[in-house]
A and B are shown apart, each in its own frame.
Chain A
Amino acid sequence: MNHLLSWIIWLPVIGIVAIAFIPRDKTELIKQVSAAATGIQLALAIYLWRIFDAATGTFQFMERAEWIPSFNITYILGVDGLSLPMVILMALIGFVSVFVSWNINTAVKGYFSLFLLLNTGVMGVFLSLDFFLFYIFWEVMLLPMYFLIGMWGGPQREYAAIKFFLYTLFGSVLMLIAILALYFTCGNTFDMLVLMDTAPTALSGVLWWGMSAIKVIWVLLFIGFAIKVPVFPFHTWLPLAHVEAPTAISVILAGVLLKLGVYGMLRINYTMLPDGVFWFAGALAVLGLINVIWGAMCALAQKDLKKLVAYSSVNHMGYVLLGMAAVIAASGMNGDNLISAQAGINGAVFQMFNHGTISAMLFILVGVIYDRAHHRDIEGFGGLASQMPIYTGFVAVAFFAGLGLPGFSGFVSEFMIFIGAFPVFKTIVIISTIGILLNAAYFLWAFQRMFFGPANEKYNDLPEINKRELFTIIPLAVITLFLGIYPRPFLDMISATMNVLIEQVVSLGGLASVM
């Protein structure tokens, strides 16, 4: 099929147009249309994965169209082993989230239109290879998020919505400056493929106010992406946004939106500023460590289950940063250790995907109990295991996957990250294993408080998890288990691209000294 990537991006917009013609009181139909749009999108994403040639690490299914020639802006799409898993993840989480949102009943039309618009924005970011297009999609996500949190969220939703908006806009305007600086210093182009070739040489030796241009652009882009990840100390919007957002939006936020930051760093910082990678890798590893420890400590202190899960995201994304930093192991000065660079970076991307499925599961499960008990206070439950055995079983699966128990996918990716990062960042890796301990502690402790102990009389007649909820949770649980036992299909899909990425970073970076 031609224009497969465009179809994947724009299908939700077709859904929005269809929804616009449906009368506002036909809520079931609106939900069905949304399910159809995201369902077809998921089918296309799986089809894309089947016909994707995993043996080459280059971009495939490229699309290119004139857009604004006077400013060299082009509509370029392409997919490689880095964006493909993210596209599949978004399609999957998007489809699941429609069913998670099935019990939304205020302003259904608005909700699903914004929901689908968000979907388009995220897909666009993952697939666009023109910087201008990338930026437009990046910003298009903000407005739907603002409304989805602000209109369908919890008690503090207004504050959470604007805080999310301000934080991410702050990051993205810095990114805009970096994009323009790259445009004018690297030959007047927004084409990322061209920039990947020209930027490393065009920028080397350029000084701005006595600082290397590479460093300046790196930092600008990094802040923009770090806010999205979120990297400490830019993470404060996250717990608030998560807690206030409706369940489905938390699922998308944790499942996919956080990956955008890491995706941006790998796609842009790593390929266009390889010198910067060597300069910043140490800091990246330290920030990763802080995320791991800080996120875990904060999670340990939470009384609200959703907040606990939110902080666990901060914790888990820390591992991703650590894995990314391991890429420098492959350079000459670090002993040409290609194996550990591969382990680290593959582990990072794998961890992104795993965190997507696991945190989606966690948030869905939080939503399930909140819908029934109307609160999320961990201390307020107790003995739920006897009351809701099936639910308890799934929570156990999700929690164990979250704490990285062997047999679940999270274990594989975290393990890969640790062995990848160990040769270069020994101390940091050793300290960050404390994070695993804390990680287990907060999940197990929360589990114990909620599900064991004396049963709380108040919740004697809580209904068991229903079929719709099971339908949303089972696919995610199956994927988590399957990839935990047999991760090879996933790693095969990404490894060729990761090798190209490592090659790009190592061959172009680390040679010129960054001032």
Chain B
Amino acid sequence: MSNLNSLTYFWPELILTITVLISVVADLFYRKEESYKVAWWVLGGLIFTMLAIRLGGSAVTDLFMGTIALDPFSVFFKILILIATVFVILMSFNSNELKDYRVGEYYSVLAIMAFGLFLMASAIDILMVYLAIEVVSIMSFFLAGYLKKNPHSNEASLKYVIYGAFSSGIMLYGLSILFGLTGTTKFMEMQAAIAGLSPDSNLALILSAVFILVGFGYKISAVPFHFWTPDVYEGSPTTITAYLSVAPKAAGFAILIRFFNQVFGDSSALVSESWQALNHIPWPQLMGVLAAATMTVGNLVAIQQKSVKRMLAYSSIAHAGYMMMALPLMSEAGVYGIMIYLLMYLFMNLGAFFVVIYIQGKTGGEDFEDFNGLGWKMPFVGAVMVLFMLSLTGLPPTAGFIGKFYLFAAVIKAGSQYYWLAFVGVLNSVISLYYYFRVVKHMYFKGERSETVVMPESNLVTTVLLFLAIPTFIFGWYFGPVANWVSESLVIFQGM
């Protein structure tokens, strides 16, 4: 579709851009103490963006001369990203870490990041892929280092920059090899060109696939590209850690699914029968091994952490691993599993991080010891934290179980050659119980059993916690509508 016509389908992104501009200007009129009010402008903009997405319907088309796709698949991820952004902004009001800083541009940058994530979820041209990933990365560097007086935050930002630059450089190299082989930047055209390549170029193809995987793997923090994750997650403001563990991961999976199926696969459908370009190596098995390694490493290291925040950082690696199980399956059920898992993960993970933020504000720390006796002193916060921990472990009747259920179902459905992956997955769930329930142990079994009860003094905290906890619980036993929504979203742009 031509550039001008495309604009009529581009309202959500346009509104988001306008939101950024307005919030930057609005920030100029606020003094430091009230700079948090920028957040209301951003929230308003996000709500209009959501409306624009809903009004856009379920069109399937390309935009801007075939660089961006508009399809229910990308819409699903955009909604996910928007929900995450809204929650993170609401959580930021209560952040203890941010209150010494001018936060106007913090909210503007979150909106820019959401814009970049939108592009990641819908890019169908490698130039756009690179552009989108860079927008997201640069905003992430900025946000990770937002606490400029805190050395850990500075370290996080610097580490992130170095890893980010390195991996996107490698990815760019892979993309350029691909361009050299095919002479085009568009996914569909690349696929057609690869089908006609002579076997001499197999090695180059495999190299480019591996290099590109480095770039995407870094975004979803897959082992062995995960080394940046714990330090960055620990040093960043906790609100940003929460955001990084959810939104870029979702967008990363979107781009991973779309790119590998449509460029290296044998059809432009949502899932291909095989990765035609990578038939010469056991690519699905390699992806399976990566998934198994990701969840195992994430879990085993999470056990040893002293800080709850760092534990959640490692556990988010493990969650990426669970979702990666579905990548080698080449089945719609697998993509479905990833999408439903991401949705469930959004609520439970943001919830867990929000409790950490709240406790940090109360006790000044985020170690396991800081949670001692919490369940007795603050029964409400304690109870929802138990719910989030249950859900992250994947126990019914919580959302996390349904997510895992769909993922494991996809793996089992794919046939007995993948059963080993399901075994690794369920054993990892058992391991994760140990460290998630360490939090519960500290909340209820350690420390003094206080007789006086403290409720959160701010209604906002209670409301946000409830909005995160209710879906985490309800989706655990009534997930029919969600499941239907996800299956309607399994439509992808397949070329003209």
> Do these two chains interact?
yes
Give Cα A281–Cα B58 distance, bound, in whole angstroms. 57
Residue on A nearest B484 in the bound complex, by CB: A70
Give Cα A301–Cα B441 distance, bound, in whole angstroms. 32
Is A465 in the interface zone, CB < 8 Å from B? Answer: no
- How many inter-chain contacts with C-beta < 8 Å in the A-B complex? 85
A177 pairs with B396, CB closer than 8 A: no
Residue on B nearest A157 in the bound complex, by CB: B445
Find chain B residues with CB under 8 A from A208 CB: 416, 419
Is A53 in the interface zone, CB < 8 Å from B? Answer: no
B430 pairs with A158, CB closer than 8 A: no
The size bracket of the interface on A is 35 or more
Find chain B residues with CB under 8 A from A279 CB: none
Is A489 in the interface zone, CB < 8 Å from B? Answer: no
Give Cα A181–Cα B437 distance, bound, in whole angstroms. 29
Given contacts A176-B408, A177-B408, A177-B412, contact A166 B419 (CB under 8 A): no
A151 pairs with B408, CB closer than 8 A: no
Find chain A residues with CB under 8 A from B483 CB: 68, 70-71
Segment at the interface with A among B121-129, B131-139, B421-429: B421-429
A228 to chain B, nearest CB (A): 15
Given contacts A68-B479, A107-B449, A173-B430, contact A143 B395 (CB under 8 A): yes
Give Cα A184–Cα B434 distance, bound, in whole angstroms. 30
B8 to chain A, nearest CB (A): 34
Is A140 in the interface zone, CB < 8 Å from B? Answer: yes
Give Cα A184–Cα B418 distance, bound, in whole angstroms. 14
B402 to chain A, nearest CB (A): 9
Is B112 in the interface zone, CB < 8 Å from A? Answer: no
Give Cα A494–Cα B477 distance, bound, in whole angstroms. 33
B480 pairs with A177, CB closer than 8 A: no
Q: Chain A 148-160 against B: per-residue CB contact (8 Å), 1 yes, 0 no?
A: 0011000001100
B412 pairs with A180, CB closer than 8 A: yes
B412 pairs with A165, CB closer than 8 A: no
The size bracket of the interface on B is 35 or more
Find chain A residues with CB under 8 A from B470 CB: none
Give Cα A162–Cα B413 distance, bound, in whole angstroms. 32
Give Cα A209–Cα B419 distance, bound, in whole angstroms. 10
Find chain A residues with CB under 8 A from B413 CB: 180, 184
Find chain A residues with CB under 8 A from B94 CB: none
B444 pairs with A173, CB closer than 8 A: no
B480 pairs with A69, CB closer than 8 A: yes
A151 pairs with B445, CB closer than 8 A: yes
Give Cα A135–Cα B394 distance, bound, in whole angstroms. 13
B419 pairs with A177, CB closer than 8 A: yes
Find chain B residues with CB under 8 A from A142 CB: 395
B433 pairs with A177, CB closer than 8 A: no
Q: Which of B362-419 contact A (CB under 8 A)?
A: 376, 386, 390, 395-397, 401, 405, 408-409, 412-413, 416, 419
Give Cα A147–Cα B430 distance, bound, in whole angstroms. 18
Q: Which of A38-68 contact B (CB under 8 A)?
A: 67-68
A415 to chain B, nearest CB (A): 40
Give Cα A209–Cα B479 distance, bound, in whole angstroms. 34
Find chain A residues with CB under 8 A from B409 CB: 71, 180, 183-184
Q: Chain A 245-273 against B: per-residue CB contact (8 Å), 1 yes, 0 no?
A: 00000000000000000000000000000
A52 to chain B, nearest CB (A): 29
A82 to chain B, nearest CB (A): 24
Find chain A residues with CB under 8 A from B376 CB: 107
User: Main secondary structure on chain A at its contact with chain B?
Assistant: helix
User: Main secondary structure on chain B at its contact with chain A?
Assistant: helix
The contact of B422 among A69, A147, A157, A177, by CB within 8 Å, is A177
Residue on A nearest B476 in the bound complex, by CB: A136
B157 to chain A, nearest CB (A): 37
Q: Chain A 6-50 against B: per-residue CB contact (8 Å), 1 yes, 0 no?
A: 000000000000000000000000000000000000000000000
Give Cα A143–Cα B484 distance, bound, in whole angstroms. 30
Is B487 in the interface zone, CB < 8 Å from A? Answer: yes
Given contacts A173-B426, A181-B412, contact A136 B477 (CB under 8 A): yes
Q: Which of A152-199 contact B (CB under 8 A)?
A: 157-158, 161-162, 165-166, 169-170, 173-174, 176-177, 180-181, 183-184
Find chain B residues with CB under 8 A from A174 CB: 426
Residue on B nearest A69 in the bound complex, by CB: B480
Find chain B residues with CB under 8 A from A183 CB: 409, 412
B445 pairs with A150, CB closer than 8 A: yes
B412 pairs with A106, CB closer than 8 A: no
B459 to chain A, nearest CB (A): 21
Find chain B residues with CB under 8 A from A170 CB: 427, 430
Give Cα A143–Cα B409 distance, bound, in whole angstroms. 24
A70 pairs with B487, CB closer than 8 A: yes
Is A112 in the interface zone, CB < 8 Å from B? Answer: no
Find chain B residues with CB under 8 A from A176 CB: 405, 408, 426
B412 pairs with A184, CB closer than 8 A: yes
Give Cα A150–Cα B439 distance, bound, in whole angstroms. 13
Residue on B nearest A174 in the bound complex, by CB: B426
Give Cα A142–Cα B434 distance, bound, in whole angstroms. 14
Give Cα A67–Cα B397 distance, bound, in whole angstroms. 14
Give Cα A70–Cα B485 distance, bound, in whole angstroms. 11
Is A139 in the interface zone, CB < 8 Å from B? Answer: yes
Give Cα A173–Cα B431 distance, bound, in whole angstroms. 12
Give Cα A166–Cα B436 distance, bound, in whole angstroms. 12
Find chain B residues with CB under 8 A from A181 CB: 412, 419
Is A443 in the interface zone, CB < 8 Å from B? Answer: no
Give Cα A183–Cα B477 distance, bound, in whole angstroms. 19
A147 pairs with B412, CB closer than 8 A: no
Give Cα A151–Cα B376 distance, bound, in whole angstroms. 11
Given contacts A147-B444, A150-B444, A151-B445, contact A166 B479 (CB under 8 A): no
B441 pairs with A150, CB closer than 8 A: yes
A165 pairs with B426, CB closer than 8 A: no
Residue on A nearest B333 in the bound complex, by CB: A184
A70 pairs with B396, CB closer than 8 A: no
Residue on B nearest A24 in the bound complex, by CB: B453
Give Cα A170–Cα B413 distance, bound, in whole angstroms. 21
A216 to chain B, nearest CB (A): 8
Is A422 in the interface zone, CB < 8 Å from B? Answer: no
For A157, A173, A183, which residue has the most chain B Cβ atoms within 10 angstroms?
A173
A342 to chain B, nearest CB (A): 37
Give Cα A184–Cα B416 distance, bound, in whole angstroms. 11
Give Cα A176–Cα B423 distance, bound, in whole angstroms. 10
B396 pairs with A140, CB closer than 8 A: yes
Find chain A residues with CB under 8 A from B408 CB: 176-177, 180
Is A146 in the interface zone, CB < 8 Å from B? Answer: yes
Q: Chain A 115-149 against B: per-residue CB contact (8 Å), 1 yes, 0 no?
A: 00000000000000000000110011011001100
Given A166-B434, A173-B427, A174-B426, list of 9 further CB < 8 A pairs? A68-B483, A70-B480, A70-B484, A71-B483, A139-B401, A143-B395, A162-B434, A169-B395, A184-B409
Show 11 residue pairs from A and B whose CB-CB distance is below 8 angstroms, ordered by the A residue.
A107-B449, A136-B397, A136-B477, A139-B401, A146-B437, A147-B444, A151-B445, A162-B434, A169-B395, A180-B409, A209-B416
Please list the 8 inter-chain residue pairs (A to B) with the smallest Cβ-Cβ separation, ordered nearest first: A173-B426, A208-B416, A180-B412, A136-B396, A139-B396, A68-B480, A170-B430, A184-B413
List the interface of chain A (C-beta within 8 A of B). 67-71, 106-107, 135-136, 139-140, 142-143, 146-147, 150-151, 157-158, 161-162, 165-166, 169-170, 173-174, 176-177, 180-181, 183-184, 208-209
